[in-house]
Chain A
Amino acid sequence: MSTTTQMLKGLLEGSLLALIAKGETYGYEMTEKLQEHNFAVVSEGSIYPVLMRLQKNNFVTSVLRKSPNGPKRKYYSITDEGLEELERFKEHWERLSSGVFSLLEERDEGNDEVI
């Protein structure tokens, strides 16, 4: 697995938690919302293995209900543990992104100096 996909997986986990925290939702709706935010997902289906993991870790719960489409649809909602995890993710992300950002900036400046 490439580093990009691995990184995406971790970010996807946090982003899906954030989406579910906004209110009960289901798979297809989540992919639509990700696209609205221009989140570069590898493929739509890649959210499902992540959702399974979130559920296994008790961060989300799900219910199967009939959908307007006919077949049953799985709706997700966040748990208290999920909310805590989301907070942790936010903190991590802020620290990480500011770190990476400042590092990249610095390197650019370094390059400028060489030139």
Chain B
Amino acid sequence: MGSFHYLKKGMRGMTRLSKEAERFIIELRMYLLSKGKNEKEMDEIIVELEDHLIQAETEGKSVKDVTGDSPREYMKSIGEELGFDARQFIILAPMSALLILAFLLFTPALWGDFTLSKVGLWGMGIATVLSFTLYGFLFVKVLPRFFHSKGFYLIAGLAYLLVFGIFIIVEILDKNPFFIATPMQNNLIVISCITIFIIWAIYAKSWITIIVPFFMSWGPIADRFIPAHINEDPVFITLTIFLFVTITVAVIYFIYRSSKRKEI
């Protein structure tokens, strides 16, 4: 989420760079981000290197002329000079943890059947760590290479499906709860989740933590408020699926178009 925001941010002013140089800049940003470096210092060195690369490339030099034979070593040498931003890290780490928790708890609580079990707790914990590792690896090592190809969306999509699959398996194995929430507790959980989503949206200046939960909440809300006889009517089910798909496609198209416009 945040990383997407940063990737897009990294795109500004890069239209004059070759693909190779662009990839280097994105990789550098991802590398420094993953090391928890101070964002302001990071932006400064990236602006400086972009300017340098533009001039070097107009004079026919390559990225390797600037970075030396190993871009990776060069990134490290930059990283060593940048300060570790403890404050940024202290805010970001627990906030990310809270956000993940909110995403995990939101739908079950909204369905009104939030439960806790040993398998569920361990499973969710492991699945969260796994997905963090996977996404971290993808953002730093793999995705910068595919930034301009359709493969970017394919890989991001596959990773999402894989992570989603792990969570589904955990959900299926999740039996024998030791805690079952009352309707009141379920509502409280939903309210806290919404609060976290809103705080994140304001902090990250991005609608994504509002839009995603909004789509996640369709099913449960319909289930809560639509009477059972309508709920099981195939006509209404078809209609709902149709509406849902249309709106999803429209939103994706809208986001895609606005991101295209920003790049220009």
Contact = CB atoms under 8 A, between A and B. Distances in A.
B74 A52 contact: no
Contact of A46 (B16, B56, B68): B68
30 contacts: A26-B51, A27-B48, A27-B51, A28-B52, A43-B64, A43-B65, A43-B68, A43-B74, A44-B61, A44-B65, A45-B68, A46-B74, A48-B45, A48-B48, A48-B52, A48-B78, A49-B80, A49-B81, A52-B82, A56-B81, A64-B44, A64-B47, A67-B51, A69-B55, A70-B13, A71-B13, A71-B50, A71-B54, A72-B51, A73-B51
A74 B51 CA distance: 9
Contacts of A45: 49, 52, 66-68, 74
A103 interface: no
Interface of A: 26-28, 31, 42-46, 48-49, 52-53, 56, 64, 67, 69-74
Q: Which applies to chain B's interface (DSSP): helix, strand, loop or mixed?
A: helix
A70 B66 contact: no
Given A28-B55, A52-B82, A72 B47 contact: yes
Interface of B: 13, 16, 41, 44-45, 47-52, 54-56, 61, 64-69, 74, 77-78, 80-82
Nearest to A26: B51
Given A45-B74, A69-B16, A73-B51, 15 more contacts: A42-B68, A43-B74, A44-B56, A45-B49, A46-B77, A48-B78, A52-B78, A67-B51, A71-B13, A71-B50, A73-B48, A74-B44, A74-B47, A74-B48, A74-B51
Contacts of A27: 48, 51-52
A25 to B, nearest CB: 13
B51 A49 contact: no
A48 B13 CA distance: 20
Contacts of B41: 52
A44 B74 CA distance: 11
B48 A49 contact: no
Given A27-B48, A28-B51, A45-B74, A52 B81 contact: yes
Contacts of B67: 43, 45
A51 to B, nearest CB: 8
